[in-house]
Amino acid sequence: MLQAQDVHFCIKNQPIIDQASVNLRPGELTVLVGPNGAGKSTLFKILSGENPCKHGTVRYNGRSIHQYKTKELARIRAVMPQHSELTFPFRSIEVVEMGLFASGSDRAAEIISEVMLATETWYLRDKLYGNLSGGEKQRIQFARVLAQVWEPKPFPRYIMLDEPVSSMDIAFQHKAMNILQSVKERNVAVLVILHDLNMTAHYADRVVLLKKGLIFKQGSVEDTITSENLAWVFDHPIRVIPGADSAAPFVQTNPNFIEKLSLTLS
Ligand X SMILES: Nc1ncnc2c1ncn2[C@@H]1O[C@H](COP(=O)(O)OP(=O)(O)OP(=O)(O)O)[C@@H](O)[C@H]1O
**Residue 222: in which H helix or E strand, if any?**
helix 221-224
Handedness of CA 175, 28, 140, 148 (dihedral sign): negative
**Is the separation of the CB atoms in 99 and 147 below 8 Å?**
yes
CA distance 220 to 63: 27
**Residue 114: in which H helix or E strand, if any?**
helix 108-118
52 is a site residue for ligand X (CB under 6 A): no
Residue from 22, 26, 30, 34 binding ligand X (CB under 6 A): 34
Angle, CA 34 vertex, CA 33 and CA 35 arms, to 5° = 145
Size of residue set near ligand X by CB under 6 A: 10
164 is a site residue for ligand X (CB under 6 A): no
Residue from 30, 42, 92, 121 binding ligand X (CB under 6 A): 42
CA distance 197 to 96: 29
What type of residue sits at position 196? D
39 is a site residue for ligand X (CB under 6 A): yes
CA distance 100 to 56: 31
Residue from 4, 22, 26, 40 binding ligand X (CB under 6 A): 40
Residue from 6, 10, 27, 37 binding ligand X (CB under 6 A): 37
Q: Which is nearer to ligand X, 100 or 208 (CB)?
A: 208
Closest separation between CB of residue 11 and ligand X, Å?
5
Of residues 13-32, those binding ligand X (CB under 6 A): 16
Q: Which is nearer to ligand X, 118 or 194 (CB)?
A: 194
- Collapsed DSSP state (helix, strand, coil) of residue 130: helix
Closest separation between CB of residue 81 and ligand X, Å?
11
36 is a site residue for ligand X (CB under 6 A): yes
Residues that bind ligand X (CB under 6 A): 11, 16, 34, 36-42
